[in-house]
Structure 1
């Protein structure tokens, strides 16, 4: 898209600059140059510019890859020597860009009649010609792309904000967790560590479990439920934790009671989704029913509210929570809010590390914040958002340069008209509005095209999320507002300059 914008921009700026080369073209034609020779000359100039730009890009690419190292794979390197295919690709790209960007301006420039050019009449009525409509169409295309980029950037940022701030059904702030050596056969070690942590005043509560509520690693298995003659077999997510697990993560208990301390699995809590799959309309109806788990009958002790076990890309899965101390090798800790009685989390974590090293001196102490781990689910979207912001900035910049080229061209060809209007009493503001109006219409036409395209693209992208933000009307309103504001700034200087020009100079004939 950005390369297309560059080509369109080059076409508009080249044709806008034609007025400064008109006499050169007229003289060359008078001296015998044919149209084909002029076309070859202008294509050669485009080839030279494209080649120089490509050469500069070759030198800048390593720096750009370094600057965007967070978005590209570490093994990705740019080398023309090691990758001869890249060199061939660049040669093909230069040829394509030269033809796409240079052919139309070359045909326009070589088509001027020498008699009209030398009499300064080559641009008379050019605003009504087919070439003018082509330039305007290209400008509209630029603003379509730019506005789609703006709307997409806003929507991606909106979805990321929604994902990070949505209530996932459990508490995720101010909670850290650490893994204990799973292969440690001495169960007393982890309980000794928990006793030491319990004595730390900065720790409000802790729980021994297999994983946090939302985790990339979860156990799952098939569980059966018999309701009379009907048997329901379901693939169910399985988590194990002590009695504090539901309390620490503030998971709402809808019916029944919490788990009781036990040495082995004796009952389950199930989530709303699983209760609905089993056919229970009221959570209370599920209490006391038995589940067939590993050929054992496990009573349903309670029903908890749904929470997201993974990112918002996925819907809530059926879930059971039981108590199985021998498999629970992760300690979750709720930190006391910072600032209370001079408490700092850094101090709390240091004390936890000291306790950990006393029990497991050979193991590395590694802890994680629950909310930070959840935020990592959306690293890909954050990278997309950052790249979109850069691309949007470039797209808007290139589009405005193209707009500037078109307004220069228009004010040049309408110089005498502006002079006549000023002589007849037109004010500067009237002339500025007269010129600006045409360009604002182009932007509005571009918006009419960009809005449905952006909606379709954004709606398709949002299908990757089971839980997604709404495509609000203000996303489109912001897109057109930003584009109009930047366009007005771009147009302002040149249109005011044209409106303030001395009409005597513009009406003087040679």
Structure 2
């Protein structure tokens, strides 16, 4: 019986080769997308799911509100690490640690020859509390003793082999590792890194007490309640009966006890689930660790569902359209004793075979797609059926679901024919014809709705990206290079030497030294206080550091006062216009000369600059102060270099970079030369949107392709059914244009209906997406017209292959039997 089902199915496939091909291609596209998206979703959703009591582990983060605008920081005031255990009920364990970036590492190998190693920033200052919360496997040392003294370090096995490649783990213990030339540590333990997917990829664990006592690190730790630094991370474990809402309230009470809230602003400590760590892009995660985006992930899943749905719609449309061609087969089968259940099973088995072929094709395409989209797909996503049993289960479920979704309704229609009517060539009653036609039109409209939505969304995202990349951000971003050195102790003595060498290069216009560029991913803020004689105005103030050339390199516009000078390094600062207005100064000149309390020191406002975007356009412009770096080593380590204009076809910039590298190596021979073009750094702010645009472009292309395949199939069937009608019309004088218009009109009306239905939905979705940006482009009316127009053009192009062929056919051939 089963063998007969499959034999009949193959005969049907061979008889309708074109329709079978269209169905398989449509389904294989959707299934291929589903497999790749499943791999991505499974990869991201399994991060840090293996920790013991993981559902009770949280990170404490800081939420700000500034004049109604929210702000987020993954760090906490450093003293909170000890205070939460004493002052917050419900917390049974805390694990504070401090992340370290741009650190130079020097080790002595087995021949006692110093070896400098470039570090990737995945190191922290931690103690036994970290290892009590996160269960590493210890090979040497112990969590209780290996990090309880200053100047101790624990390494992962990979890092131990990297530092000391020819030594056993026993021999590595007791070896010295030097960080930033002054932090001399002794290896006291070795642990295995997590084998599962995790954001905790640290490999150097310096004892927390080292950070509290070392003169270089101590300045960054800042044991002050009014200072929040994203490097100061705090994880806690709640008791089994603890309520997160109550703990959140207690955390904020503790914070306000030690640091009173500012009028007009708010600052709260909140719990963030460990399971949200990998997805919450509001907070800075860890250096060189990729964060996923749940919105993007859900969007991917939605695209997979839509593409699968389009393939299923094609199958249903084409199968029901061909129903009359199989009517006699069904009538004979019923006459010979087949019941409806057997016929349903026959048609479902055909659907299953088509789906199975599509799955097999998709499995072969998946490795190719993973390579093709390697830049978009997260590192670590792999495809291996033998090593991923969950993927096999997913494919089996996908095959069954798609088979039922595609084949259930057509099997009901086909198996419902009455043998007497069928054998009298009355396969379908008028009501059945009408019902089937309405279904096909409804499904076709659904296809057009999905395709037009993708088209409109793609156009808007592209428009927003163009707006972000070309908007005047308040500073110059072209022809500027910046580079930083991790050698903090050497900066004070050697930076003037490097700057002098750079000034001698003919391609260099100007050089400045300071902290981050005007717009950057990281930010530092502190509480600033201004007293206007009647009241104190306290608020969080972001800070940038730069010498007198900083404003000139980036063309920051000075509205009032004067530029920073060397004598302003400890007494003066420049503020932005936003801060001046919040202090009550409508005229920027009125702010000059006023004094504010900044880092517990009175400083004079010497100038006011025009507002510029400190971060991406997702964020509002916040109060800002620009300070002279002076002797502050940490904020005196980035060189900002303006290049002279490059002639058309010239290589002046290439020559300039080569000159910079030569100067760098002569002054900092132990440090790698790494430079960044500022405009490229700005563009990287919008990598997520650019990836979304790429994803939508592919989804749009695939949805149009699947829809057009379905339309082509319907056009082939429709023109076949109306062959004699077309012949009669041509004999009576109808032109080719009139015939083509007649055959195309129905689908064009369906596109118009889909346009009316999708436009409000697309507008709502676009409006919600735009709310992610503080500054964004407009949702123009032409986006919708263009979206509908693209669909009309694609439809007419697809239909022309068959309608024109039918319209120009010789009517004698179609009417010969008459």
TM-score over 0.5 for the alignment?
Answer: yes
**Uncovered stretches (5+) of structure 1, i.e. residues with no partner:** none
Q: 1:348 — aligned with what?
A: 656
Q: 1:201 — aligned with what?
A: 506
How do 1:401-440 and structure 2 match up within 5 A?
401-440=709-748
In 2, Cα distance between equivalents of 1:233 and 1:208:
30
- RMSD between aligned alpha carbons? 2.2
In 2, Cα distance between equivalents of 1:98 and 1:137:
20
In 1, Cα distance between equivalents of 2:312 and 2:651:
60
Correspondence for 1:69 among 364, 374, 386: 374
1:190 aligns with 2:495: yes
SS of residue paired to 1:184: helix
How do 1:369-380 and structure 2 match up within 5 A?
369-380=677-688
Q: 2:65 — aligned with what?
A: none
1:277-327 Cα distance to aligned partner (Å, 9 max, x none): 112111112111111112211111111111111111111111001112223
In 1, Cα distance between equivalents of 2:513 and 2:804:
72
How do 1:103-502 and structure 2 match up within 5 A?
103-118=408-423, 120-122=425-427, 129-185=434-490, 187-262=492-567, 264-327=569-632, 328-339=636-647, 344-502=652-810
In 1, Cα distance between equivalents of 2:651 and 2:705:
49
In 1, Cα distance between equivalents of 2:628 and 2:775:
30
SS of residue paired to 1:325: coil
| More strand as a share of residues | 2
In 2, Cα distance between equivalents of 1:3 and 1:338:
50
> Relative to 1, partners in 2 of residues 1:341 and 1:505: Cα closer, same or farther, differing over 3 Å?
closer
SS of residue paired to 2:567: coil
In 1, Cα distance between equivalents of 2:486 and 2:810:
85
Segment drifting more, 399-408 vs 284-293: 399-408
In 1, Cα distance between equivalents of 2:743 and 2:447:
19
- Alignment: residue pair count: 510
Contact 2:566 2:630 in 1 (8 A): no
In 2, Cα distance between equivalents of 1:359 and 1:340:
32
Contact 1:124 1:413 in 2 (8 A): no
> Relative to 1, partners in 2 of residues 1:27 and 1:234: Cα closer, same or farther, differing over 3 Å?
same
In 2, Cα distance between equivalents of 1:389 and 1:215:
29
> Relative to 1, partners in 2 of residues 1:317 and 1:325: Cα closer, same or farther, differing over 3 Å?
same
| More helix as a share of residues | 1
> Relative to 1, partners in 2 of residues 1:466 and 1:447: Cα closer, same or farther, differing over 3 Å?
same
Segment drifting more, 138-147 vs 206-215: 206-215
Contact 2:316 2:406 in 1 (8 A): yes
Contact 1:203 1:348 in 2 (8 A): yes
Contact 1:266 1:322 in 2 (8 A): no
Segment drifting more, 127-136 vs 105-114: 105-114
Contact 2:328 2:422 in 1 (8 A): yes
> Relative to 1, partners in 2 of residues 1:335 and 1:186: Cα closer, same or farther, differing over 3 Å?
closer
Contact 2:488 2:637 in 1 (8 A): no
> Relative to 1, partners in 2 of residues 1:200 and 1:188: Cα closer, same or farther, differing over 3 Å?
same
- TM-superposed CA distance for 1:380, in Å, is 1.3
In 2, Cα distance between equivalents of 1:475 and 1:304:
37
In 2, Cα distance between equivalents of 1:350 and 1:12:
63
TM normalised by structure 1 equals 0.94
Contact 2:417 2:428 in 1 (8 A): no
**Bigger relative contact order (CA 8 A; separation at least 6):** 1
> Relative to 1, partners in 2 of residues 1:15 and 1:405: Cα closer, same or farther, differing over 3 Å?
farther
- TM-superposed CA distance for 1:264, in Å, is 2.9
SS of residue paired to 2:488: coil
1:41-61 Cα distance to aligned partner (Å, 9 max, x none): 111110111122212222322
1:21-45 Cα distance to aligned partner (Å, 9 max, x none): 3333333234333333222111111
Contact 2:335 2:419 in 1 (8 A): yes
1:130-150 Cα distance to aligned partner (Å, 9 max, x none): 110000000000010000011
Segment drifting more, 179-188 vs 296-305: 179-188
SS of residue paired to 1:326: coil
Q: 2:49 — aligned with what?
A: none
SS of residue paired to 2:646: coil
